[in-house]
Amino acid sequence: MNMLSRRQFLRTSGPIVGATLVPSSVVLGRARAAGKELIPRKLPFPPNDEFGSYEPTITPDANTIYFARFAANGDKRVRGTTTDIFVTHRIRPTGEWPGTGADWTPPERLPDTVNSDSIDQEPRITPDGNTLYFMSRRSGNPDIWVTQKQPNGEWTPAQPLSSNVNSPDIEHCFMPFNLPGEPETSVFISVRPREVGAPPTPALYTTRMEKGVWQPTKRYESKLLDSISQKCRFNVVSRDGLVLGVVSVHDFGKFHTMLFVHYDPTSKQWKGPIVEAPFNNTAIDGACPMFTAGGDKMIWSAGYDRGPGPVSTAGGTGGRYDLFWLKTSDIVAYYKANARLS
């Protein structure tokens, strides 16, 4: 396998977009970059290590990171032949984040009350640090599961969310979806029939919790978001006067990449132009981010320094990834400049 440095990668990367209905004139990439350079920052070793880290989620204080790990990359602690969820802690939270490798614990596998011998990945930790949502196929179908951290630090046996969220079809990437002036909501991808008798098709769905119960899901309709095909995750953050949306695109058989859009609170509509992440590469997996609860950092996994590898799949296979991060303000400034909003 060829190993590319980050600088080599950025010089050779080419944009990819999964838009099917959006005119090319509203999709802006590196060739039309108007803002400052946006270069991913790599976390130290640890939390990165030789076995790789995938789809991270981070606590509000940025001192605990949960992520998935593929068995194929050699960590014998992963049960079965797919993925398990791991955790790493920043034990010396002083100085500038993220610090050095001496500041972090080596990654540890979460216990069997959380993990199984099936696919367990896509973790999402809540702002209080005590509830972990994730996707699992232990029941035979990709569904959303949940576990709670107890006062003694132990995790409760994971349980699937109710049929208000899960269905006989596919559900994954259960993410926060908080818009200005709107109730606190979650968004996820489901591949289910949009109407009775129709074939299953992927789309965004939302749900919100009321009195401790997740309410029946609704398909989230947006002309702009519906125009982007092969969506596999949608993240939202409010920062510096902008509501930024990050669309992860999985062009199946190729690799994950990221697109940026924005939300207009006045019209309550998602708008373009769609701006490519400047570090997208058609031959290297890199997407599926998560923001801190305060919205100051975005963290994600990518193979930038490892070169092309196996694409991650719903079957629990994938390449070897490292954890990267950026300041959200830098991403917002990049989007505003390229979208000509400032």
Q: What is the pLDDT of residues 197-236, one digit of tens each?
A: 999 999 999 999 999 999 999 999 999 999 998 999 999 9
For residues 225 and 69, give the distance between their C-alpha atoms in angstroms, rounded to a whole number.
Answer: 29
Q: Is residue 158 part of a domain?
A: yes
Number of helices followed by number of strands (H, E) in the chain: 3, 23
CATH of the domain at 272: 2.115.10
CA angle at 132 for the pair 63 and 89, rounded to the nearest 5°: 20
Q: Is residue 44 part of a domain?
A: yes
- So what's the pLDDT on residue 135? 97
Q: Is residue 121 part of a domain?
A: yes
176 versus 282: the higher-pLDDT residue is: 176
| Beta pairing class for 200-207 and 186-193 | antiparallel
Q: Is residue 280 part of a domain?
A: yes
Range of the domain at 272: 6-338
- What is the pTM for the complete model shown? 0.90
103 three-class SS: helix
199, with CB counted inside 10 A (0-12, 13-18, 19+), is: exposed
Q: In which order are the strands placed within the sheet that holds 286-291?
A: 41-42, 322-327, 297-302, 286-291
For residues 325 and 339, give the distance between their C-alpha atoms in angstroms, rounded to a whole number.
Answer: 22
Q: What is the pLDDT of residues 103-152, one digit of tens each?
A: 999 999 999 999 999 999 999 999 999 999 999 999 999 999 999 999 99
Q: Is residue 92 part of a domain?
A: yes
Which amino acid would we find at residue 145?
W
- So what's the pLDDT on residue 253? 63
Q: In which order are the strands placed within the sheet that holds 242-250?
A: 27-28, 269-276, 256-264, 242-250, 231-239
Task: Tally Cβ neighbours within 10 Å of residue 246.
Answer: 24
Domains contained in the chain, number: 1
Q: Is residue 191 part of a domain?
A: yes
For residues 285 and 160, give the distance between their C-alpha atoms in angstroms, rounded to a whole number.
Answer: 29
For residue 160, give every residue at least 6 positions away whose Cβ sits within 8 Å of its Cβ, in sequence order, or none. Answer: 136, 139, 143, 144, 145, 146, 166
pLDDT band at 3 (very low <50, low <70, confident <90, very high): very low
For the segment 293-310, the average pLDDT, to the nearest whole number, is 91
Q: Is residue 1 part of a domain?
A: no
Q: Is residue 147 part of a domain?
A: yes
Per the structure block, which two tokens stand in for 165?
């969220």
